[in-house]
A and B are shown apart, each in its own frame.
Chain A
Amino acid sequence: DTAVSQTPKYLVTQMGNDKSIKCEQNLGHDTMYWYKQDSKKFLKIMFSYNNKELIINETVPNRFSPKSPDKAHLNLHINSLELGDSAVYFCASSQNSGANVLTFGAGSRLTVL
């Protein structure tokens, strides 16, 4: 069983479209994250949720809207996609928001044409 699963793995879309990436973890963790990895492989935190509550929202355009229906799911919806949104998006989870090991999903590669 995959601990942190993301769908879709690949997403190719046109500028201006709206798309979503889903993430689910079966580890019983309280905290989930979205990271963006750019073309230079730099991983940057976007959002963090603890028990369905937003605890971190870095300087991300408001076209990005995370949604956590329950603590096992953290979905990322992106409106009006731009070329610069092309990246690999990683979901991760940890037991809680303290000093715990992060477990990552396999990533979702988004390409905006």
Chain B
Amino acid sequence: KQEVTQIPAALSVPEGENLVLNCSFTDSAIYNLQWFRQDPGKGLTSLLLIQSSQREQTSGRLNASLDKSSGRSTLYIAASQPGDSATYLCAVGSGGSYIPTFGRGTSLIVHP
């Protein structure tokens, strides 16, 4: 059964720092990996989707990489801003049912 771990669980940084959030998974036979953002009291917003054949995806200040063989993905946030404060969730699609399995998230606070 796929297990997804996100480290760190919480992170507090000053504005302007470059950040790396980590996601690891136990079963490397994945179809895709998706990064989401969740604001307090809100739903999830998809940030980036990496298919299993891809190594990375970029969107603006966000870059996500995937290393299937080592069971890891990283989300890189450049020049962090207070508006980036949210919980970031990693979801791994695997198994015959393709159902994404979520990690517990990294709670990020960027202070001015």
On A, residues with C-beta under 8 Å from B are 4, 33, 35, 40-45, 48, 55-56, 90, 92, 97-99, 101-107
Once A40-B104, A41-B105, A43-B89 are accepted as A-B contacts, the answer to whether A99 and B46 lie under 8 Å apart by CB is no
Contact A90 B43 (CB under 8 A): yes
What 0/1 readout, one digit per residue, does chain B (44-60) give for beta carbons within 8 Å of chain A?
11100101100000000
Residues of B within 8 A of A107 (CB): 41-43
Are A99's CB and B32's CB within 8 A? Answer: yes
Is B12 engaged at the interface, CB distance under 8 Å to the other chain?
no
Q: Are B31 and A42 in contact (CB under 8 A)?
A: no
CB of B62, distance to nearest CB on chain A (Å):
15
In the complex, A41 Cα to B43 Cα: how many Å? 12
User: Do A102 and B52 touch across chains, with their CB atoms under 8 A apart?
Assistant: no
Smallest CB gap from B104: residue in A? A42
Q: Given A104-B43, A106-B42, do A99 and B98 touch, yes or no (CB 8 Å)?
A: yes
Contact B46 A103 (CB under 8 A): yes
> Is there an interface contact between A56 and B97, defined as CB atoms closer than 8 Å?
yes
Using a CB–CB cutoff of 8 Å, the interface residues on chain B facing chain A are 31-32, 34, 36, 38, 41-46, 49, 51-52, 87, 89, 91, 93, 97-102, 104-105
Decide if the interface of chain B is mainly helix, strand, loop or mixed.
Answer: strand
Complex CA gap A55/B44 in Å reads 23
User: Nearest 8 pairs between A and B by C-beta?
Assistant: A99-B31, A43-B102, A104-B44, A99-B32, A106-B43, A104-B43, A101-B49, A56-B97
Assembly CA distance A33 to B43 (angstroms): 14
Q: B34 touching A101 by the CB < 8 A rule?
A: yes
* B46 close to A55 (CB less than 8 A): no
Q: Which residues of A contact B101 (CB under 8 A)?
A: 45
Taking a contact as CB atoms under 8 Å apart, the answer to whether A55 and B93 are in contact is no
Q: Does B43 contact A105, Cβ atoms closer than 8 Å? A: yes
Query: Which B-chain residue is minimally distant from A47 (CB atoms)?
Result: B99
Closest to B48 in A: A101
- In the complex, what residues of A have CB within 8 A of residue B45's CB? 104
Closest approach, in angstroms, between the C-beta of B32 and any C-beta of chain A? Answer: 4
